[in-house]
Structure 1
Amino acid sequence: MTFDLQHLIAFNAIVASGSLGRAADALNVTQPALSRTIRRLEEQAGAPLFERHSKGMQLTDVGRALHPHAVLLQRESEHANEDIKAMLGLAKGTIRVGAVGSIACLVLPLAIGATCEKWPNLQVQIIEGVWDRLANALVSHEIDLALGVDIEDTDEIVAVKDCRWEDTSYVVAGRRHPLRKKPKLKLADTLSERWAILPKGTGPFEHMKQVFARQNLALPNVVVETRSVTALKSLIGRSGFLGWMPEPMYDAERKAGLIDALEIPGSSDRRTLTAFRRRAGMLPGPAIKLLEALRSMTAK
């Protein structure tokens, strides 16, 4: 069967709002007209898509099965329309990208700068977060590219194999931290210091944990866990905390004389980074342009 795109858009609006009335307002149509549209879609599907309740509308099993396909078809249509208008000079394309903190601090801004210089009509929407946030945004079509630590592909998300690069993470501290005066500093000397780091379960925390485990050391004294990169940098640079960061994340603070790595033998470690996309569907044109810039940068 071939579904009408406008019917699917109406279906998605009801799912998003949970109410026929709110969906009708969002689509700027009357409730009776929206009801007729959904009835036609249900007739085409051969089964009810919603259960009607006094407090709203809930998906049936058939509705739940249809929903991800309806979202994909709507998004692909929007991307196609946007790409064509951008090519014709009628509208600006939009790059929708997400990145973990270290990439958002350096690599992504450089890639966006190069892309927008070459394609000045493009606009950019960025989200920053740990991987679980980025993965959800990628699957839900909030973003089209996610930049993070290389992991195994899933049923929904795959890595862009020809866009990979590496960075190195270090134990970092403020430039005036007392440990800088200690001769022959060892990783064990950091155990009793106050640490601030991204939360347990995130890539940086697990990376730091592996470095300590390789030297048969317990975890250090983690006092602060936060997803805020800004808070981490302030705690490390101004409040005497130690942290674990990839070099691009604190590049600006290093140049400003606020944060730098501690010189501890065997305490640094490299990791591989890459771009990810949805397995299903085509990558929108604006995202392809950013990906080209990333490939050019990371190939050097």
Structure 2
Amino acid sequence: MDLRDLRYFETIAELQHVGKAAERLHRTQPALTGAVRRLEQQAGAPLFERSGRGIRLTDAGRVLLRWAQRLRFDVEDARREIAEIGRGVAGHARIGIVPTAAQYLLPQAVRQLLQEAPEVTLSTTVALVDVLLPMLGRGELDLVVGTEGRAQPGLQSHRLSEDSIVVAAHARHEIFQGKPTLKDLTRYRWVLQAPGAPTRDWLDHTFDRKRLPRPVVQVESSMLVTLPAMIAETGLLSFISRHHLAAGSPQRLREVVLKETTMRRRLVVTHRSHAYVPPAARRLMELLAAAAASPVAEGGA
């Protein structure tokens, strides 16, 4: 099977539309249709079927897509590995990383990496794991540093550190006038991530289990690094990493200490199983683990 035909097939399968695939690939629709026909002849089965105004993969198409992706990964990995033979810790690494790790682990690790290997280049994507892991699966990233979740086929993870997510408030908030309870937290308004974010869902379910109203969210924000300042300026409660809480200054911010609202999570680094991991990315994995174990990182965990 022709690699170009397989690449066209992957794009058509992703977009479920020949016309949209032609626009992305800057090819004509007949060229893409011809590629699909050649693949169907070689596979001996139809790869797509009509679905409304678009198309969708058949069972045979889904099988071919899995192998086409694997073949593309292998070819790309081979090219990168051959290009980097003899270069040592050099080349380019593509890293996906969650905001907390990007702020507290990545700078130290990158500083050390560039001291050791000044020619290394990096590209970083900061997002949540639900965005990063599909990018890793598509071969767009070499590593993902994020929170541990369920094991996924084709991915391999290594533990970096533990982190705690806690309720935080302005140090002079009235919640600290007594010994707060979970029910007391329902009296105040919050700044939180949108529903669907793992920490937000965990917190909502904590209140659900106690048959209490969920937090009343006055401000939704996807910018985690702004939460300490937002808490300090607005008086709203929030749910943030102890790393961020420490960065917000103990004179301004304080943890609302409650066992029920202390979420413990693990940070892991994940790569595709059996995939080529560039030397720069391998060394960065080691440096991230060292940064996670350092006194500075542990002091905020």
Is 1:172 the equivalent of 2:168?
yes
Deviation at 1:177, TM superposition (A): 3.2
Q: Tell me how far apart the structure 1 counterparts of residues 57 and 165 of structure 2 sit (CA, whole Å).
A: 46
Deviation at 1:27, TM superposition (A): 4.9
Q: Tell me how far apart the structure 2 counterparts of residues 223 and 100 of structure 1 sit (CA, whole Å).
A: 23
- Which residue, out of 69, 72, 96, partners 1:71? 69
| Pairing 1:211-290 to 2, within 5 Å after superposition | 218=212, 221-224=215-218, 225-230=220-225, 232-254=227-249, 258=252, 260-262=253-255, 264=257, 266=259, 268=262, 270-279=264-273, 281-290=275-284
Q: Tell me how far apart the structure 2 counterparts of residues 296 and 167 of structure 1 sit (CA, whole Å).
A: 15
Deviation at 1:238, TM superposition (A): 1.3
Percent sequence identity over aligned pairs: 30
Structure 1, residues 235-284: CA drift from partner, whole Å, max 9, x if none? 312111111211223444338x65x3336365655432212233464444
Q: Tell me how far apart the structure 1 counterparts of residues 38 and 200 of structure 2 sit (CA, whole Å).
A: 51
Question: Which consecutive unaligned segments of at least 5 residues does structure 1 have?
Answer: none
Instruction: State the match for 1:152 in structure 2.
Output: 150
Counterpart residue type for residue 174 of structure 1? H
Aligned-CA RMSD value: 3.8
Deviation at 1:65, TM superposition (A): 1.9
Instruction: State the match for 1:13 in structure 2.
Output: 11
Pick which of 48-57 and 246-255 moved more: 48-57
- Contact 2:145–2:268 (8 Å) recurs in 1: yes
Q: Tell me how far apart the structure 2 counterparts of residues 286 and 11 of structure 1 sit (CA, whole Å).
A: 32
Counterpart residue type for residue 81 of structure 1? R
Structure 1, residues 7-58: CA drift from partner, whole Å, max 9, x if none? 3223223334555566556556666555544433322212232458996654
The SS at the match of 2:249 is helix
- Contact 2:146–2:267 (8 Å) recurs in 1: yes
Structure 1, residues 187-240: CA drift from partner, whole Å, max 9, x if none? 4543412222234454323554687799x6846633244433255344312111
Instruction: State the match for 1:205 in structure 2.
Output: 200
- Contact 2:99–2:126 (8 Å) recurs in 1: no
- Contact 1:52–1:58 (8 Å) recurs in 2: yes
- Contact 1:149–1:272 (8 Å) recurs in 2: yes
Structure 1 residues 218 and 147: CA distance shift in structure 2, 3 A: farther
Structure 1 residues 208 and 49: CA distance shift in structure 2, 3 A: closer
Q: Tell me how far apart the structure 2 counterparts of residues 96 and 200 of structure 1 sit (CA, whole Å).
A: 28
Aligned residues: 288
Structure 1 residues 143 and 166: CA distance shift in structure 2, 3 A: same
When normalised by structure 1's length, the TM-score is: 0.75
Is 1:123 the equivalent of 2:122?
yes
When normalised by structure 2's length, the TM-score is: 0.75
Pick which of 30-39 and 142-151 moved more: 30-39
Deviation at 1:88, TM superposition (A): 6.5
Counterpart residue type for residue 161 of structure 2? W
- Contact 1:105–1:248 (8 Å) recurs in 2: no
- Which residue, out of 278, 287, 301, partners 1:293? 287
Q: Tell me how far apart the structure 1 counterparts of residues 42 and 236 of structure 2 sit (CA, whole Å).
A: 62
- Contact 1:98–1:126 (8 Å) recurs in 2: yes
Deviation at 1:165, TM superposition (A): 0.9
The SS at the match of 1:111 is helix
